[in-house]
Structure 1
Amino acid sequence: MSIIRRSPPGSKVHQVSSESNISNIEPENPLNYVGRRQKRPRNEDQRKGIDDSLKDELLSMLTNWKKDQDLILSKLCSDIAELKQQNANIQSTNIEMERALTFISTQYEDMNTKIINLDRERKENHNYILSLENRLEDVQKKLKSTVIEFRNLPTPAQNIKQETQQDLCDLVQKICDVLNVNFHPSEIKDICRIKIKAGVSTVITELTSVLSKNKILSGAKEFNKININSKLSSKSIGLSSSTIPINIYIYI
């Protein structure tokens, strides 16, 4: 008897299709012991958009902040530059003022020195002038020590010739004769008549010595003392009928 051999029954073969995304394939016979995980909805695009928006906003804020800082820095630099320029101008002005003050100080010192020198010269000149005045006064005193005045001596009539120094010397000689004074015209060094006011004149007589002056003054004083009622006058020396007092003084 022949033995017939049969092939064993074949098992059903499951074909697996090719799928690029294996994770999306549902298993045909899910295992009971494996729980299926529920997938959460993914918001990656929305989150990415929010992140990009935040980035843009932050970048915009940083950009604006940088612009503001740049403006502030630029203004600060400008202010610093302006302050530096002002400081330079102030320093330049201070230097000029210092030079001006130095010049003024030098000028002041020079002027002060000149004033001191002028004041010293003024004092020296003042002292010199005082010395000259004293010397002049001494000279005048010496000159006046021999000078006397004959006041109220009548002037000659207008129809008579012009009066000369000799006429005045003769007039003084006549007075000395009346006073009983031993006098000679040669004792007269200089003589002149000066008019003080209308109708009044004085004969200034410079004598050769103080002795001559003193004896004339003493003679006049003695004459007036003796002749109280008829003191020395124009009538005493026979110059006029009217009585005009004649006074003899030390010339001052």
Structure 2
Amino acid sequence: MSIIRRSPPGSKVHQVSSESDISNIEPENPLNYVGRRQKKTRNEDQRKGIDDSLKDELLSMLTNWKKDQDLILSKLCSDIAELKQQNANIQSTNIEMEKALTFISTKYEGMNTKIINLERERKENYNYILSLENRLEDVQKRLKSTVIEFRNLPTPAQNIKQETQQDLCDLVQKICDVLNVNFHPSEIKDIFRIKTKAGVSTVITELTSVLSKNKILSGAKEFNKININNKLSSKSIGLSSSTMPNIYI
């Protein structure tokens, strides 16, 4: 025979009909406490899994970032080393250039000194040459003062012996005789024949004095003045010539 017990008066009995009612159980109820404790454990596991995933992802990002930074740092170090080497090369080049410039400057100063000395010597030589030219001109003037020229004197035929200075002296003596000038061959210092570009034959005679030259010039002038139609020529001195040119003194 079953015994039916009644609940004490005033007590409340909670009935749990479904899982959704578990969340409505009051905290002080032991059954409600057990249900909520199990749900909190599952949430913590999920949160922990998410945290671990975030940690792994963050660690991976940091690792990749570190690798990138290491590459950048390595390249930066390489660039710095290259710049240092270039700087060292530039400094070495600058030193060599300074040495070269110093050498060139020294050479330039030496060359400049030599040029100044050469310029001074050139001026001295120029002045000396001018002095020599002036002296030569004076000598030529003095020589010309005693030199007389006989132009158009006929030359000997080719089949005759070569003309000598004595032959020329004889010609001058004949001219002086025709001009009636008192002249002696000893007054001739030097005598020779030349031909100009125009083909004119000229006998250059250097006399011992200006007086002898003036005597011959005066005699020729007087002769041509008297013999206007028969001036001094090859015929006058007894020489045959196809053209019988006049002789000019």
What is the TM-score with the length of structure 2 in the denominator? 0.72
- Alpha-carbon distance between aligned partners in 2 of 1:143 and 1:11, rounded to the nearest angstrom: 175
Give % identity.
Answer: 95
Partner of 1:189, secondary structure, is strand
**Deviation string, structure 1 residues 171-197 (Cα, Å, up to 9, x no partner):** 222211221222222211122233447
1:208–1:44 Cα change, 3 Å: same
- Alpha-carbon distance between aligned partners in 1 of 2:25 and 2:199, rounded to the nearest angstrom: 171
Q: Which of 1 and 2 has higher RCO (CA within 8 Å, sep 6+)?
A: 1
**Deviation string, structure 1 residues 126-183 (Cα, Å, up to 9, x no partner):** 3322222222222122222211111122334456555443333232222112212222
- Alpha-carbon distance between aligned partners in 2 of 1:98 and 1:36, rounded to the nearest angstrom: 90
Q: Which has the larger radius of gyration?
A: 1
Q: Gapped runs of 5+ residues in structure 2?
A: none
- Alpha-carbon distance between aligned partners in 1 of 2:77 and 2:96, rounded to the nearest angstrom: 28
* 1:206 aligns to 2:206 (yes or no): yes
Query: Corresponding residue for 1:182?
Result: 182
Query: Corresponding residue for 1:191?
Result: 191
1:4–1:130 Cα change, 3 Å: closer
Partner of 1:12, secondary structure, is coil
C-alpha RMSD of the superposition: 8.7
Name whichever of 186-195 and 19-28 sits farther off. 19-28
How far is 1:13 from its partner? Answer: 26
1:15–1:119 Cα change, 3 Å: closer
- State the number of aligned residues: 248
Q: How does 1:60-71 map to 2 (within 5 A)?
A: 60-71=60-71
Partner of 1:42, secondary structure, is helix
1:11–1:140 Cα change, 3 Å: closer
- Alpha-carbon distance between aligned partners in 1 of 2:175 and 2:9, rounded to the nearest angstrom: 211
- Equivalent residues of 2:192, 2:204 under 8 A apart: yes
1:135–1:219 Cα change, 3 Å: same
Q: Gapped runs of 5+ residues in structure 1?
A: none
What is the TM-score with the length of structure 1 in the denominator? 0.71
Name whichever of 79-88 and 11-20 sits farther off. 11-20
**Greater percentage in helix:** 2
Name whichever of 110-119 and 27-36 sits farther off. 27-36
Name whichever of 161-170 and 221-230 sits farther off. 161-170
- Equivalent residues of 1:144, 1:251 under 8 A apart: no
